[in-house]
Amino acid sequence: MKRKPFAIATARRTREAFTLKQRGRSRGPCHDVASRVGGFTLAELLVSVFVVTIIILMVTQLMTSATAITRTGTKHVDTDTQARVVFDRMALDFAQMLKRTDVDYYVKQRTGYNGHGNGHGWGRGHNGDLGSDQMAFFTQVPGYYPDGYVSGQQSPISLVAYRVNESSSSNPAYVKLERMAKGLVWNAVDTNTNQNTAKYPIVFLPQTMALIGRPWAPAINNDNNANNSIDADYEIIGPGVFRFEYYYLLKNGRVTDWPWDRSDFPDQLTINSPQNLGLSQVEAIAVSIAVIDPAARALVNAVSPDRLLDIAADMADFKNANGRGNGAQKIGDLEYQWKTVVESIASTGQTPSGLPVPQEAAKSIRIYNRYFDLKTL
């Protein structure tokens, strides 16, 4: 009987001890564990923020690099597309060119070609000279025929010309590659001899394009003269092309800016004087162009509307063209020199002549070259 109260008291003391023990633990080391389970320390938060910041910076850098690569790729797509369109059009014109020794060609040669001068291609910049080549020839492709002439009066021959317009900055075609395709009528359809109104057919030597005068003057001139250079039949074919140069690959394998071998014909002045050679010694015409994308052109024009001509003027002519020229000895020399000029501008922000050019704009300029086989006999 006396043991029961003892047991109850013992149990009560044990329960109280247990309660006290549990309360003691809640104030001891276990209290720190519980606190850590419920949140982070300041050091842990700082480390987390630092790691997240590093990750964000890495992702941002990757996105920036990807955007830059995409933008550059898009610019190259623009210039690649323009170059392809220009070369494809030239290929059609050259393929249908009349390859005869009794017709005239306005092409680069020893004399009879206005070409370049005044230091062009000699590191002196643009000094009032023509910045690019020009050519004109007869070819069997459709053209713009004079108003009022029906299909039976229209011949299949057109006078085709290429040039980079250098009239004035107010002209929408300024410093852009143009193509003229003037459809010709049959012989004797128009007997009018007035140079201002006559509609000429194809002519044969000794008659030349230059002797025809006003109707065909824009095919061989390139300035701001309304009578000699402006013609409604010109249209922009390469809006990004600001430099145009060509030279010849002869049948003996030599590259030159005269369409004949100097050693075989040392006294030859033009393709029809003193001998009618035409393009009989030419295996292919090599065309080189410099192209800039629209956004980069806008940046350059913001500096000066003539700055692209300044850049073009520092891109050398092919050897022996009027003006000092590049002095190229083998295929690829001219294009390499142009690329060197572009890389220099992109690196320094100025042309070799010391004129400022936005570096990012220069990085968008690309050089292209293609050889067109004339398939002459």
Question: What pLDDT score does 129 carry?
Answer: 61
Decide: residue 241, CB within 10 A, 0-12 exposed, 13-18 middle, 19+ buried.
Answer: buried
Least confident of 62-66, 77-81, 106-110, 365-369: 62-66
pLDDT tens-place string over residues 244-271 = 999 999 998 888 888 999 889 999 999 9
* Residue with more model confidence, 178 or 210: 178
Asked whether residue 137 carries a pLDDT value surpassing 80, the answer given is yes
Asked whether residue 9 carries a pLDDT value surpassing 80, the answer given is no
Least confident of 71-75, 221-225, 274-278, 365-369: 71-75
Answer yes or no: is 24 within a domain: no
pLDDT tens-place string over residues 151-161 = 889 999 999 99
Question: What pLDDT score does 225 carry?
Answer: 86
Residue 372 token pair: 């067109």
* Residue with more model confidence, 370 or 123: 370
Domain region containing 198: 65-373
Q: pLDDT band for position 118 (50/70/90)?
A: very low
Question: What pLDDT score does 37 carry?
Answer: 55
**Length of the chain counted residue by residue:** 377
Which residues, in sequence order, are CB contacts of 20 under 8 Å at separation 6+? none
Asked whether residue 31 carries a pLDDT value surpassing 70, the answer given is no
| Helices 3-27, 29-37: crossing angle, 10 deg rounding | 50
Answer yes or no: is 19 within a domain: no
Least confident of 62-76, 189-203, 230-244: 62-76
Percent of the chain scoring above 90 in pLDDT: 52
Let me know how many helices (H) and strands (E) the chain has, helices first: 8, 8
Question: What pLDDT score does 127 carry?
Answer: 57
Q: pLDDT band for position 74 (50/70/90)?
A: low
Answer yes or no: is 358 within a domain: yes
Answer yes or no: is 71 within a domain: yes
Handedness of CA 184, 185, 188, 190 (dihedral sign): negative
In angstroms, the CA 153 to CA 144 distance is 13
Q: pLDDT band for position 287 (50/70/90)?
A: very high
Question: What pLDDT score does 17 carry?
Answer: 47
Which residues, in sequence order, are CB contacts of 226 under 8 Å at separation 6+? none
Question: What pLDDT score does 219 carry?
Answer: 94
Asked whether residue 126 carries a pLDDT value surpassing 80, the answer given is no
In angstroms, the CA 132 to CA 134 distance is 7
Asked whether residue 59 carries a pLDDT value surpassing 80, the answer given is yes
In angstroms, the CA 93 to CA 157 distance is 11
Is there a cis peptide before residue 274, judged by omega within 30 degrees of 0? Answer: yes
Asked whether residue 323 carries a pLDDT value surpassing 90, the answer given is no
Question: What pLDDT score does 220 carry?
Answer: 92
In angstroms, the CA 327 to CA 333 distance is 9
Answer yes or no: is 230 within a domain: yes
SS3 call for 301: helix
Please state the domain count of the chain. Answer: 1
Question: What pLDDT score does 366 carry?
Answer: 95
Answer yes or no: is 365 within a domain: yes
Answer yes or no: is 43 within a domain: no
Q: Tell me the whole-structure pTM to 2 decimals.
A: 0.78
In angstroms, the CA 85 to CA 367 distance is 15
Q: pLDDT band for position 116 (50/70/90)?
A: low
Q: pLDDT band for position 205 (50/70/90)?
A: very high
Asked whether residue 66 carries a pLDDT value surpassing 90, the answer given is no
- Mean pLDDT, the chain, integer: 83
* Residue with more model confidence, 349 or 71: 349
Question: What pLDDT score does 235 carry?
Answer: 97
Q: What is the mean pLDDT of residues 113-130?
A: 54
Give the side-chain half-sphere CA count within 13 A for 16: 6
Question: What pLDDT score does 123 carry?
Answer: 44
Answer yes or no: is 299 within a domain: yes
